[in-house]
């Protein structure tokens, strides 16, 4: 009888341990991005909407650090159809100033904001571009990163000017 009890305890303990190792940490929020214009003319501004939704039972920091219509609390990944990043190289003095808006998001609430991607990314060449954003769960990547869905934006050549009236 003792052997059966011991085997049962070992079985239950190992099942509990393996279950805890198989669990993944639930992200405290989700990010969903979208755009009103999936097709834009080359060289024009490109905007996306970012919806942050608190999926936890705790308050989530949704503060923003806006600089030239780009929220720097998000990490942007914009790539051309060959998978190459299209970030404009060099320093970006226009991103130096800005404003910080503190925000706390209650459980199950959402906040939608916008970002002008063309502040930092080159959309002057026709083609298809994929966009994904991410955000740290806490103050750094050590606490985890949440990624958004991926969207595609098509950039077309400039439209021909309208003919002049005769």
Tens of pLDDT, residue by residue over 142-154, are 888 999 999 999 9
Residue 166's pLDDT is what? 54
Structure tokens that stand for 132 in this block? 């994904």
Question: Residue 156's beta-bridge partner residues?
Answer: 41
Rounded to the nearest integer, the mean pLDDT of the chain is: 81
Structure pTM?
0.76
Top-confidence residue, 128 or 2: 128
Residue 77's pLDDT is what? 95
DSSP category for residue 118: G
Residue 25's pLDDT is what? 59
Residue 84 has pLDDT above 80, yes or no: yes
Residue 164's pLDDT is what? 60
Q: What percent of the chain has pLDDT over 70?
A: 75
Q: Which helix (H) or strand (E) holds 71?
A: strand 70-71
Domains in the chain, ordered, with CATH?
26-156 (2.60.40.2970)
Residues 6+ apart with CB under 8 A from 116: 45, 46, 47, 68, 69, 70
What ranges in the chain are assigned the alpha helix state H?
A: 2-22
């Amino acid at each position: 009888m003792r052997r059966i009890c011991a085997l049962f305890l070992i079985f239950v303990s190992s099942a509990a341990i393996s279950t805890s190792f198989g669990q993944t940490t639930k992200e405290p929020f989700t990010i969903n991005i979208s755009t009103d214009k999936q097709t834009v003319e080359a060289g024009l501004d490109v905007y996306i909407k970012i919806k942050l939704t608190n999926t936890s039972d705790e308050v989530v920091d949704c503060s923003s650090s806006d600089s030239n219509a780009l929220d720097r609390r998000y990490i942007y990944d914009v790539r051309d159809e060959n998978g190459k990043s299209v970030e404009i190289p060099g320093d970006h003095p226009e991103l130096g100033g800005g404003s910080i808006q503190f925000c706390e998001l209650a459980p199950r609430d959402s906040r939608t904001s916008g970002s002008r991607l063309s502040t930092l990314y080159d959309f002057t060449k026709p083609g298809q571009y994929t966009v994904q954003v991410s955000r740290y769960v806490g103050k750094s990547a050590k606490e985890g990163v949440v990624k958004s869905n991926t969207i595609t934006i098509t950039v077309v050549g400039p439209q021909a000017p309208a003919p002049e009236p005769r």
